Amino acid sequence: MAFGRSSRRKQRHVEPVTLKILVAGGFGVGKTTAVGSVSEIRPLRTEERLSEAGRPVDDLEGVESKTTTTVAMDFGRITLREDLVLYLFGTPGQDRFWFLWDELAQGSLGAVVLADTRRLEDCFAAVDYFERRRIPFTVAVNTFEGAERFPTETVRAALDLDPEVQVLVCDARDRSSVRDVLVAVVEHALERAARSREPVAT
């Protein structure tokens, strides 16, 4: 071995790119479950038990068995590749916690809007939020047991989505299913960012 040199080249450590993704939707649609199922770390949860005092303001129609609610956010992390890590922020679903959304949305690359076909109208507000702020998003229909299944184009029409918005079917309990949705969100957001940088033809 020559002085001061090694025959083995040290592998260069690559610092991963970290991206922020929101997981949004209505109350009880599966946001906490989705973040927890895919996170490689123990997810941070800010759940509190539902109380009698909150019943006048908490709409439990369709989710009568739900006993807890997210009051701030869920947080998880998933490594998609050695050089790409996603930080996941699950938003609170109830109207009274919407004041937190603006802070959570800062710096986000894109979002997942979870939908429940039994209460599809509950995700209208999330769709409108991301459209108004021009944050790329993908709609993921969570497959609840007993819920009627609809073609994705039917869901698209019901939500009046732009053609570029993907509508996917997922199971929030299944890691690979949620991962596929997150990959779709990242690809969509990066493609949109690339288009915005293209020079306008004259």
Domains of the chain: which residue ranges?
17-197
Contacts of 192 (CB under 8 A, 6+ apart): 136, 164
Six-digit token pair at 180? 């596929």
Which stretches in the chain have pLDDT values below 50?
A: 1-4, 6-7, 50-58, 60, 62-63, 65-67, 71
What pLDDT sits at residue 145? Answer: 83
Q: What is the DSSP letter of 52?
A: G
Amino acid type, 103: E
Distance CA 171, CA 151 (A): 16
The CATH architecture assigned to 17-197 reads 3-Layer(aba) Sandwich (3.40)
What pLDDT sits at residue 121? Answer: 93
What pLDDT sits at residue 12? Answer: 67
**Which of 166, 111, 129, 122 is closest to 144 using CA atoms?**
122
Q: Residue 145, Cα to own-chain centre: how many angstroms?
A: 21
Over the stretch 80-128, which tens digit does the pLDDT of each residue have? 999 999 999 998 866 656 678 888 899 999 999 999 999 999 999 999 9
Are the CB atoms for 52 and 152 separated by under 8 Å?
A: no
Six-digit token pair at 18? 């970290």
Q: Let me know how many helices (H) and strands (E) the chain has, helices first.
A: 5, 7
